[in-house]
Amino acid sequence: MKQYLDLQRKILGLSVYSLASNDRVMTDGILKFNLTEGFPLLTTKTINLKPILDELILFIKKDKEQWDNIMDDIMMDSICSIVGKDFHKSFHTEEIPPDDMEAIREDYKYKLPRTLTKEEFEARLPKRYLNVVIKDFKSSNFFSEVPRLIAFDATLLQMIASQVNMIPKVFTWIGESVYSNTTEVEQMKVQVERQPYPLPQLFINPNVKSITDYTSNDFQLYNYESHPTFRCQQHINRVDKGDYPGLYI
């Protein structure tokens, strides 16, 4: 997640904080991740993936017909877009080069049944990478929201790739308006000094037949090591002197 920390350093460098801007510093940003190198879940503070998965599953289950059409479009046209009020998700595929196919063959020797003939084995190998470019139009808090948005959309990319027998690869996230509050600056300074751990791997049950049939039990996160989360004061006005318990973000 070096890209995330680099953008966080940029935000910290924009030291123009003022009450007139509601105690916020605003910018835009582009983050690009290669999912073949690991699942982009932030390691410089702990992110709970379970509620993100629950939200994603509910998002998908709202319209089964739409998602079936999306799967068909990706398979037939190699490109597909999902447009919402606050986002634009553009999926596109690319052919896997021969050198990469050799590594994939070795990997799938352990994933596919050994009873397959050579022809059946080759037929079931993925032949294309699936990439996505996601534009978020709404303002998002870079410290607390953006890591969860990245995990949400990276999981979606893996789910779709699993359904169309492709390999998820490049995930590009474009935030047109990201901000951080001045109350988060000290935590951000600590976070950028932390050494990131290697990225984890997200395993998705390959036996689920429809993208709308997933449950949270179909996902398994492996080798996730992270630094502690932050205990932050909620940004509210208080009149008493009690010790506010704060929020974990």
The answer on pLDDT for 243 being more than 60 is no
* Confidence (pLDDT) at 141: 86
**Structure-token pair, residue 200:** 């984890």
Other beta carbons within 10 Å of 11: 21
* Confidence (pLDDT) at 53: 95
Rounded to an integer, what distance in angstroms lies between the CA atom of residue 161 and that of residue 144?
27
Per-residue pLDDT reduced to its tens digit, 142-161: 888 999 999 999 999 999 99
Per-residue pLDDT, averaged over 76-100, amounts to 85
Whether residue 202 contacts residue 219, with contact meaning beta carbons closer than 8 Å, is answered with yes
Whether residue 158 contacts residue 200, with contact meaning beta carbons closer than 8 Å, is answered with no
Domains and CATH numbers, the chain: 2-9+22-248 (3.30.572.10)
Query: How much is the pTM?
Result: 0.84
- How deeply is 109 buried, as exposed, middle or buried, from its count of CB atoms within 10 A (0-12, 13-18, 19+)? exposed
Does 28 or 51 have the greater pLDDT score?
Answer: 51
Strand 167-181 with 128-136, pairing = parallel
Mean pLDDT of the chain: 83
The answer on pLDDT for 232 being more than 60 is no
The answer on pLDDT for 236 being more than 50 is no
Reported confidence tier of residue 2, pLDDT bands at 50, 70, 90: confident
Rounded to an integer, what distance in angstroms lies between the CA atom of residue 187 and that of residue 246?
13
The conformation of residue 116, written as its DSSP 8-state character, comes to S
- How deeply is 77 buried, as exposed, middle or buried, from its count of CB atoms within 10 A (0-12, 13-18, 19+)? exposed
Per-residue pLDDT reduced to its tens digit, 199-215: 999 999 989 989 999 99
- How deeply is 241 buried, as exposed, middle or buried, from its count of CB atoms within 10 A (0-12, 13-18, 19+)? exposed
Reported confidence tier of residue 140, pLDDT bands at 50, 70, 90: confident
The answer on pLDDT for 244 being more than 80 is no
Reported confidence tier of residue 14, pLDDT bands at 50, 70, 90: low
Residue 163 DSSP SS3: helix
> What ranges in the chain are assigned the alpha helix state H?
2-13, 49-61, 64-77, 98-108, 118-124, 146-163, 185-193
Whether residue 86 contacts residue 136, with contact meaning beta carbons closer than 8 Å, is answered with yes
Largest Cα separation within the chain, whole Å, is 73
Rounded to an integer, what distance in angstroms lies between the CA atom of residue 231 and that of residue 239?
21
Angle, vertex CA 120, rays to CA 221 and CA 107, nearest 5:
35
Reported confidence tier of residue 198, pLDDT bands at 50, 70, 90: very high
